Structure 1
């Protein structure tokens, strides 16, 4: 378990982390989300005592990290997969860490096999691809067989097979009763992996809830209907005081009504339906909606510096820059 209590970090006048309080519980995969500059990396570094908090505290299974006798046996972390001496082989990198932390030598071979690097164990890490380096970093996190694991962008550089593997690995570790805390910008992967979400913006806690509740609470849910008799369908819905909004392709969208009721209503009136589909926003859409006001940097896809022509409006949930959505890239508020 990881417990944060009022965790705060200032860099001069900059507040990187602002009184964060939440608990990462064992037995589930907890995702850690936030826009660039939200304070995620700083928070994870403070969990490992790599940065000292300005105020507040972090405890790993009830202890501060610096008080852990055998830290790699308590918590494993992947924060920077490149933090390896390039002239050292994967095997000897892991062996050095094992010997300095009282971990049996046999464990080196076990984790190399787990991450799929046995065949290149004696090769120097400077020749590793990005994905191979990422696997080595994951091996380091697993080396002490810890009860708590932190992963920062664990799928970075991995191919589809590797992404599938790390997703299942994290789920299996959580199923063993371990605490698994993972930060990633890949919303599609987070949606498939995490059970619970902690979301921050500008260093502040925005959400601490289950994946299902987060999406439900930060997105629009509706039912899409399509019939070869759209006018009759519209009349039937109107008679039941059900508000329907026209959508692309001749479909109708209805909020606040279960699909079962709408299907039964169409059946009673002998209406043929070509589509009756409940719609729920994706994790990415829900995240964008919640964090729209917390995004510190906006990049624009318009031509930089263009002064002529109409200025397109900002996409939904994204604040327009002072020069309009088509203006040059800038830090919000600058």
Structure 2
């Protein structure tokens, strides 16, 4: 378990982390989200004792990182996949970690096999692609068979097979009762991987909730309906006091409605439906809505692109 209480980090006039308090619990994959510059990496570095907080506290299973007797058996982390001595082979890199932490050498072969690097174990790390470096970093995190695992952007550089593999690995580790804390900008992947979310913006906590509740609380849910008897359907819906939004292309959208209720209502009035589908915003849309006021870096299209976009929207 990772516990943060009032964790704050200031660099001169810059407040990078502002009074964060939350707990990362075992048995689930917890996603750590926030816009660029939100303070995610700084928070992770403070958890590992790489940066010291200006104020507040962070503990790993009740102790500070520098008080852990065998840190790699308590928490394994991947923060920077390229933070490896390029002149060492993958095997020698892991051997150095194992020997300095009292971990049996045989564990090195096990984690190399787990991450799929056995065939390149004797190659120097400087020749590794980003995806191979990610796998080596994950092997280092797994080396001590720790109770807690922390990953910062673990899918960077991985191909689709590798992304599926790391997703399954994190979920299986959580299923074993371990604590898994993962940061990523890939919302579609996070939606498939995490069960719980911690979201920060400008160093402050914005949300600490389940994935399902986060999307429900920060997104629009509606029912999409399409019928060849459009006008008759509109009369039926209006007669029932249901507000309808016309979405174009013959589609109607009903906010907060239940698909079952709308379907039964249409059936009672003998209205044929060609589409009746409940819709909810994605994790990405929910995240964008919640963090809109916390984004530090904004990109803007050039005038030609804005003119094209405006024209496209008008035609639709």
* TM-score, structure 1 normalization: 0.91
1:213 aligns with 2:216: no
Q: Distance in 2 between matches of 1:175 and 1:302?
A: 48
> SS of 2:249's equivalent?
helix
Residue 19 of structure 1: aligned partner: 19
Q: Distance in 2 between matches of 1:310 and 1:111?
A: 53
Q: Residue 38 of structure 1: CA displacement?
A: 0.2
Tell me the distance in 2 between the aligned counterparts of 1:146 and 1:162.
22
Alignment partners' CA distance in 1, 2:256 and 2:201: 30
Q: How does 1:16-165 map to 2 (within 5 A)?
A: 16-165=16-165
Q: Distance in 1 between matches of 2:248 and 2:158?
A: 37
Once the two structures are superposed, residues 119-142 of structure 1 have per-residue CA deviations (whole angstroms, 9 ceiling, x without a partner) of: 000111111111000100000000
1:232 maps to 232
* Aligned length in residues: 310
CA distance in 2 between counterparts of 1:301 and 1:124 reads 42
Give CA-to-partner distance per residue, 1:194-230, whole Å, 9 cap, x none.
0000000000000000000000000110000000010
Unaligned 5+ residue runs, structure 1? 314-334
Distance 1:172 1:225 in 2: 39
Runs of 4+ in structure 1 off by over 4 angstroms are 309-313
Question: What is residue 177 of structure 2 aligned with on the other side?
Answer: 177
Secondary structure of 1:297's aligned partner = coil
Alignment correspondent of 1:263: 263
Question: 2:166: which partner in 1?
Answer: 166
Show the counterpart of 1:280: 280
Task: State the alpha-carbon separation in 1 of the partners of residues 279 and 13 from structure 2.
Answer: 44
* Partner of residue 301, structure 1: 301
**Alpha-carbon distance in 2 for matches of 1:312, 1:267:** 40
Distance 1:223 1:312 in 2: 27
Aligned to 1:332: none
- Separation in 1 of the partners of 2:270 and 2:222? 23
What secondary structure is seen at the aligned counterpart in 2 of 1:43?
helix
What displacement does 1:312 show?
Answer: 7.6
SS at match of 1:241: coil
Q: Relative contact order (C-alpha < 8 Å, sep 6+): which is higher?
A: 2
Structure 1 residue 66, shift from structure 2 partner: 0.4
1:301 Cα deviation after fit: 2.3
Q: Supply the distance in 1 between the matched residues of 2:256 and 2:81 (Cα, whole angstroms).
A: 46
The Cα of 1:113 is off from its aligned counterpart by: 0.2
Distance 2:175 2:253 in 1: 39
Secondary structure of the structure 1 residue equivalent to 2:241: coil
Task: Please tell me whether residue 191 in structure 1 is matched to residue 185 in structure 2.
Answer: no
Structure 1: distance between partners of 2:24 and 2:168: 19
The residue number in structure 2 matching 1:323 is none
Q: What is the deviation of 1:258?
A: 0.8
C-alpha distance in 2 between matches for 1:170 and 1:311: 43
In 2: Cα distance, 1:311 partner to 1:297 partner: 23
Distance in 2 of aligned mates of 1:302 and 1:183: 31
Distance 1:258 1:21 in 2: 37
1:243-258 equivalent positions in 2, closer than 5 A? 243-258=243-258
From the two aligned structures, give the one with the greater helix fraction: 2
